[in-house]
Structure 1
Amino acid sequence: MAAVTKALAQSGQKRSPQDIIAAREGKKRLVEATQKYGRGKAVRLKGIKDKKLRGNLRAVEDRYQTAALRAKDAEILLENDGGFLEPEGELEKTYKVRQDDIKENIGIEVAKKGFELKLEDFGPYRADYTRNGKNLLLAGRKGHIATMDWRAGKLGCELQLGETIRDAKWLHNNQYFAVAQQKYVYIYDHSGAELHCLNKHVEARYLEFLPYHFLLASAATSGFLKYTDTSTGQLVAELPTRLGSPTSLCQNPWNAILHVGHQNGTVSLWSPNSQTALVKALVHRGPVRSMAIDRQGRYMVSTGQDMRMNVWDIRMFKSIHSYSCYQPGASVSISERGLTAVGWGTKVSVWRGLFDAAAANEEKVQSPYMSWGGDGQRIETVRWCPFEDVLGVTHDKGFASVIVPGAGEPNFDSMEVNPYETIKQRQEAEVKALLNKLQPEMISLDPDYIGKIDNVTETKRREERQEEQKPEDAIEKLKNRGRGRNSALRKYLRKKGKTNVIDEKRLKAEALQSERKSRQNEALQNQRQELGPALSRFASKKDS
C-alpha cells in the first residue's frame, strides 16, 4: 500500500478517491496493529546522518510493520474464546458456585479434568506442571515423588526417596525434573533414574527454572542464590542475598529476573550478572510468604505473614491495591488470562480483574471470582495448568484439580509451546531451544535494551566532554618546559613585553619567573657553602 502511494506520488499522477480512502484505511489498520503487536516506538530516521545505517534501520522498521500487520491478519485464525462465569443479576455471586454445579453443566471430557487424589501419608505436597501443561509433578514433604500424564490418568514414575523434599521443578520438557532434597539438589529423568547430583546447591528451599536460558536457580537456607546451566552443568553464579533464609521465590517471565522474599518483609530482584540486588522493595510488614508475576511482567501479587495480599506495579515499584486475608496466604499464582489464585488456611480464593482495576485506576475488586476448600485441608501450593481452565491445589492430604472457567489461554502458539506435541516434535523443539538459548549476560530489568540505538547526538557528547574537562591554563603549560635563555617562559615574557598591557597572565608569568630566580640563587648559595671559600668560584650557576 505504501509502495503504490509512493509510486503514484513520484509519477505525478493524481490519486483517485478510492486510492485515498484505501490509503487512509491502510494507515488506520497499521496504527491499530502497531498498538497491539508493535515493539515500542519507532526509530527517528531523520536524525541519522549515515545513509547506510539509515537504510538498514528503515528496512528493520518495515519488517516490524509487516510483522504487526500479519499478526493482525492472523486474528481471524483465533477461533476459540474463553468464557467466564457470569452472574444473571446483582444478587447472584459467582464465588458461591461449587465444583459439582460446574461439572453438571459442562461436557464429560472437560468434567474429567476435575478430580482429587488422596495422599495422606507423605504430605504436604508441592506440584508443578510442564510448560505445555501435559504432565504433572507431585513431591511430598516426606520423600514421595510422582509424575503423571494427568489428562490420560497415566502414571509416569513413582519414587520413595526416604528423605525430606523441599521443592520440585520440571526442566525444559517432561523428560527431566529437579528435586531439592534434604542436602543437595538432584536431577531425575522421566523414568525416575537419578542423573546428576548438584552438590553446589546445598539445602535449597526453593527452585526455579528459566526455560529460555536453561538455568536452574535455587534459593538456599544459607541465603545464597545459585544458578546452574543445565545444558552444560556449570555453576553460572553464586549470589549472597545477605538477608537470611529466604521465605519465597518466583521468576518474572517477561525478563527472567528472580524475586526473592525475605523475613523482614522485603523483596529483592536478582540477575546472575550482579553480585548485589538490582532492586529492594518493602512489600509487607512481616515475612513474605509467596509471590507471583503476570506473564507481561507488569504486576506482582504478594502475600505476607501480616495477612495481606498486595498488588504491585513493578514497572514503577508502586503499591496499587491491598486486600486482607483471614489467614496468611501460603501460595499465590496468576493464570494466563489474569486470574489470581490465593491459598490461605484451608481455602483457595480466585480473583478476577485485579490488574484491570489497577490499569484503569479504579477501586479494588470487592469480592472473589471463585472459592474452593474449607474442608480442613491446609493449602500448600496453588498452580495454574497452562492452556487449561484448571487450577492444581496441593494440601496436606493430597492433590485436587479444580475447574475454573476462563483461566486458560484458548489459543496457543504451537511453535512456542505445543500441548499436543508428539515425540518427534518434542525432540525438534528441544534442539531448537538449545540453538536459540539465551546467555545469562542478557538477563536485565529491561529485556529490550539489546539492539537499541543511543539517540544522544555527537554534539551533546562533545558538550559533556568539555564540561568534564577543566579549563586550560597557559602558564601551567609553561612550568615544565625547557629552562635557559630560550625557554618558553622567557619567550612568552619577551613577546608580552613589547606591549604596554599588563594582564593577569603576565603578572602570573612574572611571579613564576621571580620564583625560579630566587630558587636558583638559593641553590647557588647552598652549593658555595658546601664547596668552601676556595672552590666556591667553580659553583654551577644553573638551576639545580
Structure 2
Amino acid sequence: METASKPGRDVQPKKARLQTKKKKPRRYWEKEATLTAAGASPGPPRNKKRNRELRPQRPKNINLPKKSRIPGKPQFPKKPREQRNLEPQRNLSGAQDPFPGPAPIPEEVARKFRRIDKSKKLPHSKSKTRSRLEVAEAEEEEISIKAARSELLLAEEPGHLAFGGHRGHVATLDWVTKRLMCEINVMEAVRDIRFLHSEALFAVAQNRWLHIYDNQGIELHCIRRCDRVTRLEFLPFHFLLATASETGFLTYLDVSVGKIVAALNARAGRLDVMTKNPYNAVIHLGHSNGTVSLWSPAMKEPLAKILCHRGGVRAVAVDSTGTYMATSGLDHQLKIFDLRGMFQPLSARTLPQGAGHLAFSQRGLLAAGMSDVVNIWMGQGMASPPSLEQPYLTHRLSGHVHGLHFCPFEDVLGLGHSGGITSMLVPGAAEPNFDGLENNPYRSQKQRQEWEVKALLEKVPAELICLDPRALAEVDVISLEQEKKERIERLGYDPEAKAPFQPKPKQKGRSSTASLVKRRRKVMDKEHRDKVRQSLEQQPQKQEKKAKPLKARPSALDRFVR
C-alpha cells in the first residue's frame, strides 16, 4: 500500500535550488574540452596522497640492481628538441594544427650536412666515453637538421677557384664544396690564369700563346697573336681580355666576337706588372723605370704617367672604388696614391723586404706579400685609405708567396705559395651587402644564362673607356662647335643662321626702293640696340665675378709708374 508523500517534504530548500540553477559560464573554446571530459571513462581522483598509496612500495633493506651501463648494451640517445611534443596543440580559438610538429626534411638534404656515418658502429669503449659519443652524435644530428632547414640561406654556388702552376698544372674547383670541375696538365709553363665573364670559360697564359678552355678542361681557342703573355686582366662590362707580353705590347681581345680591339706598344720593355681599375676599366702598367702608366684602348698613348719609385715597380693594386692606388718598388717602398686629383702620394712606408704582390679587398683592406710573410693594413673607414703605421694582421707561410687575391663577398684571402694554396681568414674584408642585379654570388645556372644574354646586350664599347666615366654624360662642346664649323664650310652657308629681314611689298606706292631700304635699316638698328643692351647688362656681372686684387702698400716709386 502506497502512502502519499507529504507536501513540501521532497522539495529542496531555496539555497540548494539556486546553486543547482547557477552554472559556471562556459567559453566557446571550452566546448570540445567539456565534451571529451563528459565522454571520458571515470577514473580515480587526482590526489597526490591517493597516488602515493597506490604506488608499489619497495621493501626496505633490498638492493635492487641499477641501470646497466654495459658498453655492449645499446643506449639510445635523446631525441632532438624538434622531434619532441609532436602532439597537436590547440589555439585559443580551439583550432587544431593540421600539420603538427616541424616540417619533414628529405633524407638526401639532411645527408648532405651530416658528418657522422651512422652505418658504422661505435668502437668498444668505456660506458662514460660511449655516452659522450652518443650525446655528441645527437647534437650533430640536430645541427644537421637545422642546417638542412636553412638550406636556402646557405651559399650553394658563391664562387669558383682557378689556379695554375709553373709546371703546367691547371685546375678549377668549387670554392665552397671543393668539388673539382677540371684538372689538366698543359705540358708547359703557366704564367697567369683568369676566369672570363662566367666560370664556364677561363683563359690561360702559357709559355708561347694564349689558350682558352671550358669548365671541362677542353681547349676551345688558341690565340697566336697574343704570344709570350705574362699577365691577364678581364674587364667584365666590356667583355675585354687585356694581355701584357714580354715584347712590350698591351693587347685588348673582345671575347664576345673574338677580335682584337687594340694592340698598343708601351715602349717600356718587358711588361710584368699589370692591374685594372674596377671603377673606370683603365689598365695600370708598372715599368722598370719606376713609373706607372694608365692605358685605354681608345688611345695609342698613355692617359697619364705617374713617377712612383726610384727603382722598378714590383706590384700595383687599385681599390674597388678607383680612388686609391698602392704600389711597391725595388726601393722597398710601399706607397698609396690618390687617383682623383694630381696623383700625389698620400702615405709611404719602408718595408724590410719589398712587397712582390699587392691586393685590395672590397672594404679597402690592403694585403702585401713579402717573401713568406703576408701583412694586411686597415684604414679608418670605407672611404679612407689604409693606414700603413701598424699592420692589422700578419701571417707567415711555409713558402714564398707567388700570388694573393681576396675572395669577393667572403672574409677570406687566398694565398698561393711554393707549398700550395692557403685560405686566410680576414675579418671585415668583404662586402656584406651585394647587388643581385649586378653581381649575384648565389645565382643559379638559369640565372647565369639570363645574365649572360643581358650583359651582352648592355656591353659597353671599348671606345668609351676613359679616366673620368662621368664625362660620358656631359655635352662635348668642342666637338659640337667643330662639327658646326665643318658643316658651314661644306655647305657654304650656315643653315641654322637666322634669315635676313625681307620687308613685305605694299601697295599704293609705299613699296618704293627708298621705303624698303628704310624699313630694313630700322630693323637692323633695333637688333643692334638689343645686342648692345644685352652686352651692357652682362658687363657688370663679369666685373663682380672678378676678385679684387689686394692693394700693395704704397711706395715712393709709384709716381714713376705709367
Superposition TM-score tier, normalisation by shorter sequence: 0.5 to 0.7
Alignment correspondent of 1:296: 321
Please state if 1:320 is matched with 2:342.
no
**Cα offset, 1:328, TM superposition:** 1.6
Please state if 1:166 is matched with 2:188.
no
**Superposition pairs for residues 147-162 of structure 1, below 5 Å?**
147-162=172-187
Cα distance per residue 1:123-173 (max 9 Å; x no partner): xxxxxxxxx951000111110001000101101100111101110001001
Please state if 1:370 is matched with 2:393.
yes
**Alpha-carbon separation, structure 1, partners of 2:290 and 2:384:** 22
Higher relative contact order (CA 8 A, sep 6+): 1
Please state if 1:420 is matched with 2:442.
yes
CA contact under 8 A between 1:357 and 1:365: conserved in structure 2?
A: no
**Cα offset, 1:365, TM superposition:** 4.0
Structure 2 length-normalised TM: 0.56
CA contact under 8 A between 2:277 and 2:284: conserved in structure 1?
A: yes
Alignment correspondent of 1:215: 240
Cα distance per residue 1:171-221 (max 9 Å; x no partner): 001000000001100000000000001111010000000000000010000
**Cα offset, 1:419, TM superposition:** 1.1
Determine which of 354, 359, 365 is the counterpart of 1:339. 365
**Cα offset, 1:314, TM superposition:** 1.3
CA contact under 8 A between 2:244 and 2:272: conserved in structure 1?
A: no
**Alpha-carbon separation, structure 1, partners of 2:382 and 2:235:** 27
CA contact under 8 A between 2:347 and 2:388: conserved in structure 1?
A: no
CA contact under 8 A between 1:261 and 1:268: conserved in structure 2?
A: yes
**Superposition pairs for residues 422-501 of structure 1, below 5 Å?**
422-453=444-475
Tell me the SS of whatever aligns to 1:267.
Answer: strand
**Cα offset, 1:238, TM superposition:** 0.5
**Alpha-carbon separation, structure 2, partners of 1:356 and 1:193:** 42
**Cα offset, 1:356, TM superposition:** 6.7
**Alpha-carbon separation, structure 2, partners of 1:355 and 1:268:** 28
**Alpha-carbon separation, structure 1, partners of 2:247 and 2:442:** 41
| Compared CA separation, residues 254 and 190, structure 1 to 2 (3 A) | same
**Alpha-carbon separation, structure 2, partners of 1:430 and 1:357:** 32
Unpaired segments ≥5 residues, structure 1: 1-107, 110-131, 463-544
Q: CA RMSD of the aligned region, Å?
A: 2.3
**Cα offset, 1:324, TM superposition:** 1.8
Alignment correspondent of 2:305: 280
Structure 1 length-normalised TM: 0.58
Please state if 1:388 is matched with 2:410.
yes
CA contact under 8 A between 1:247 and 1:263: conserved in structure 2?
A: no
Determine which of 253, 261, 277 is the counterpart of 1:236. 261
**Cα offset, 1:454, TM superposition:** 5.5
Please state if 1:227 is matched with 2:259.
no
Cα distance per residue 1:71-117 (max 9 Å; x no partner): xxxxxxxxxxxxxxxxxxxxxxxxxxxxxxxxxxxxx99xxxxxxxx
Please state if 1:245 is matched with 2:267.
no
Give the paired residue count.
Answer: 327
**Alpha-carbon separation, structure 1, partners of 2:388 and 2:357:** 20
Alignment correspondent of 1:178: 203
Letter in 2 for 1:301: A
Higher helix share: 1
**Alpha-carbon separation, structure 2, partners of 1:133 and 1:313:** 32
Structure 1 stretches of 4+ with a deviation exceeding 6 A read: 354-357
Letter in 1 for 2:429: A
Unpaired segments ≥5 residues, structure 2: 1-142, 145-156, 485-562
Determine which of 261, 269, 276 is the counterpart of 2:286. 261
**Alpha-carbon separation, structure 2, partners of 1:201 and 1:447:** 28
CA contact under 8 A between 2:363 and 2:382: conserved in structure 1?
A: no
**Cα offset, 1:364, TM superposition:** 4.7
Determine which of 351, 357, 375 is the counterpart of 1:349. 375
**Cα offset, 1:410, TM superposition:** 0.6
Letter in 2 for 1:268: S
Which structure: larger Rg? 2
**Superposition pairs for residues 47-196 of structure 1, below 5 Å?**
134-196=159-221
**Cα offset, 1:303, TM superposition:** 1.2
**Alpha-carbon separation, structure 2, partners of 1:338 and 1:302:** 15
Alignment correspondent of 1:73: none
Cα distance per residue 1:492-539 (max 9 Å; x no partner): xxxxxxxxxxxxxxxxxxxxxxxxxxxxxxxxxxxxxxxxxxxxxxxx
Cα distance per residue 1:268-298 (max 9 Å; x no partner): 1100011111111111121211111111111
| Compared CA separation, residues 455 and 243, structure 1 to 2 (3 A) | closer
